[in-house]
Amino acid sequence: MKLKIASLMAACVAFAISSSIAQSWSLTGDAGTTPAVNFIGTTDFTDFKIKTDNKLRMVVRKNGNVGIGTGAPKSKLDVAGTITGKKIRTQTIWDTGTRIGIGTQIPSADLHITPNSSTFAFRIDQGTNGNGMLTYVNTTSSSRTVFSASSNTTGLYVKGNGFVGVGTSSPTARLDVLASSGLVMNIASSFSGSLGQVVNIERSNAPSVGNDILQISVPGGSPDNFQFIEADRGGGITFALNGDGGAGFGGSASTGIGVHSRLGGDAGLSSGGYIISGSTTGTNIVIDDNEIMARDNGATAPLHLQHSGGNIIMCNPSGQVSIGIITPATGYLLSVDGKAMFEEVRVELSGSWPDYVFQDNYAMRSLDELRHFIDVNGHLPGMPSAAKVATEGHHIGEVQKALVEKTEEHTLYILQLKQEIEELKAQLAAFRQ
C-alpha cells in the first residue's frame, strides 16, 4: 500500500514538473509563441527584475519606468552609467552614425535640433577644414547664421566670468572684439519705424572723474587726417571727427581746423546759419558763411565785441572795415557811411609837419601871386576845391596839415605886412619932421 502511494505521489510530482516546464521559457529559445498572449513579466502590480551574479541589473517598475543600473528609475528610461554605441535612436534623438538629430530623423548637420517638429531649428556644423557654424533655420523663409568660425581662428569665446571674446580667447571685458585686418564691427538695422535705436550706450550711475563712457584710442604717430568717427547719410558725410581733434559738420573735417561747418544756410532773424550760440527763443549769435549776426527771438539785437573791456585788434593789413555801407571805399581800411562822433581823434601822418614853412629855403608865393591863384582857381593853393570835396571827400590828416601850412604862411604874410607897416610909419614920421 505504501508503495502504491509513493508511486502515485511521484507521478503527480512528475506531472506538475512537466506542466511547469511546458509553461516556462527555454534557455535555448522557444518556438511557436503567440506575441499577443506570451510574454516575460508579471501579471500583478509588482516590479519585474533581472539579475546577474545575484545583483540587480535591470528593473521594470510596476509604473512602467525602466531602470538600468538602478532599482528606482525616475523616468521611462533611467540609466545609471554610460551608454556606448555608434547609433542611438529614440523618438526624440536620432543618430545616423555621422549626424545627430533631435526632433528630426533627417538631420542636415552634425547636430540638428528641431523642437517639437516645428518650422524652427538650430544646426551645428563642423564644416570643412575645421570651419564651424551655428545656424538658425526658419523653414518657412530662410536660414540665418548665428555663429561661424574659420579654421585655426577663435570665433566666439565665452569665459566662465561672462566675458565674451570675438576673435580672441582672452577677453578682458564684457565684450572684447579683436581683428587683425578688415572691418572690425558692422552694425546695421533694417528698422523703418519712427522709434528704435541702432546703438544705445547708457550708464546707470554717474561716472567718476577719468571714467570715460566711450574711448577711442590709436597709436601715437597716427596721421592727423584720418577720421575717428564718420557719419554718412545717403553716401554723403554729415559728421566727421579727425585724428587731430578737428570736427566737420556737413562734410569731412579739414586737417588743422577745429570746427568746419558746411551745414546750414544764410542767417536771418528767425532761421538759418551754420553755427548758433545761445537759445533760438532768446538772445543768440548766429554765423553763416560770411556773416555774424546777433538776434533775440526773431528780432534784432546788439552785437557786443569785448563788452567788458579788452582790445579789438584787426591784424590783416589788407582787411577793410565798413560801417553803414556794404562795399568799402577803394584804398581805405575804414569806410563809414553816416555820422560819427568822437571825444578825441588823433591822426598821425607819415610825412613831415608843415614847420618847413619857417625854413629859409621855403619858397612862398608873394601876395600878388596868391591873389592871382585865388582869382584863377577859387581856393587857396594846397587846399582841395569844393567840387573835389563834394565828390571825393577829404583826408582829415592831409587837410589838417594843409590848414597848418596855410596858417603858418599867413603868419609870415602878417609879419611881412607888419614889417612894411613899421617901415611906412618910420618914413611918415621922418617926413613930418
The 10s digit of each residue's pLDDT in 286-338 is: 999 889 999 999 999 998 887 787 767 665 556 778 888 878 788 888 888 88
Query: In this structure, is residue 165 part of a structural domain?
Result: yes
Distance between CA atoms of 317 and 165, rounded to whole angstroms? 61
Q: Can you say how many angstroms the Cα of residue 418 is from the centroid of all Cα atoms in its chain?
A: 90
Domain boundary, last residue among 84, 114, 148: 84
In a domain, 184, yes or no: no
Rounded Cα gap, residues 123 and 104, in angstroms:
11
Last residue within a domain, chosen from 56, 84, 112: 84
pLDDT of residue 128: 59
Write down the pLDDT at residue 206: 83
- Quote the CA–CA distance of 42 and 145 in Å, as a whole number: 53
101 and 142 in a common domain? yes
Q: Does 281 have pLDDT greater than 80?
A: yes
Average of per-residue pLDDT across 133-149: 60
CB 41, CB 47: distance < 8 Å: no
pTM of the predicted protein model: 0.45
pLDDT confidence bin for 151, thresholds 50/70/90: low
Closest CA to 288 of 308, 310, 271: 271
- Residues 331-388 have pLDDT tens digits of 888 888 888 888 888 877 777 788 888 998 998 899 999 999 999 999 999 898 999 8
The Cα 363–Cα 361 span in angstroms is 6
Q: What is the dihedral of CA 51, 52, 56, 57, to 10 degrees?
A: -90
**Could you tell me what percent of the chain has a pLDDT over 70?**
81
426 and 401 within one domain: yes
Phi, psi of 363 (to 5 degrees): -90, 105
pLDDT of amino acid 407 = 92
Q: How many domains does the chain have?
A: 3
The answer to the question of residue 35 being in a domain is no
H-helix or E-strand spanning residue 322: strand 321-323
Residue 97 and residue 78 in one domain? no
pLDDT at 184 over 90: no
- Is 77 in the same domain as 101? no
Looking at the structure, tell me whether residues 79 and 117 fall in a common domain: no
pLDDT, mean of residues 137-152: 58
Are 52 and 100 within one domain?
no
Q: Is residue 75 very low, low, confident or very high in pLDDT (cuts 50, 70, 90)?
A: confident
Residue 199 lies in a domain: no
Task: Give CA–CA dist 100/96, Å, rounded.
Answer: 6
Q: How far apart are CA 92 and CA 86, in angstroms?
A: 17
Whether 423 shows a pLDDT value over 90: the answer reads yes
Q: Assign 53 a pLDDT band (cuts: 50, 70, 90).
A: very high
Q: Verify that 105 and 169 share a domain, yes or no.
A: yes
**Same domain for 99 and 174:** yes
What pLDDT score does 15 carry? 42
pLDDT at position 226 is: 79
Q: Domain ends where: 179, 210, 242? A: 179
pLDDT digits (tens, 9 = 90+) for 19-32: 444 456 677 888 88
What's the domain range around 47? 41-84
Q: Is residue 139 part of a domain?
A: yes
65 and 108: one domain?
no
Confidence of residue 3 (pLDDT cuts 50, 70, 90): very low
**pLDDT, position 313:** 67
70 and 107: one domain?
no
Whether residue 390 is contained in a domain is answered as: yes
β-strand pairing of 283-287 with 292-296: antiparallel
In a domain, 2, yes or no: no
**pLDDT higher for 134 or 281?**
281
**Is the domain of 174 the same as that of 94?**
yes
User: Is 305 domain-assigned?
Assistant: no
Q: Are residues 68 and 121 in the same domain?
A: no
Q: What confidence score (pLDDT) does residue 267 get?
A: 92
Which grid coordinates are listed for 342? 568822437
User: 417: pLDDT confidence band, cut at 50, 70 and 90?
Assistant: very high
Q: For residue 17, what pLDDT is reported? A: 42
Provide the pLDDT for residue 142: 58
Does residue 135 have a pLDDT over 60?
yes
* pLDDT of amino acid 412: 92
Average pLDDT over residues 216-233: 82
Residues 243, 258: Cα–Cα separation, whole Å: 11
Structure-block grid coordinates of residue 323: 560801417
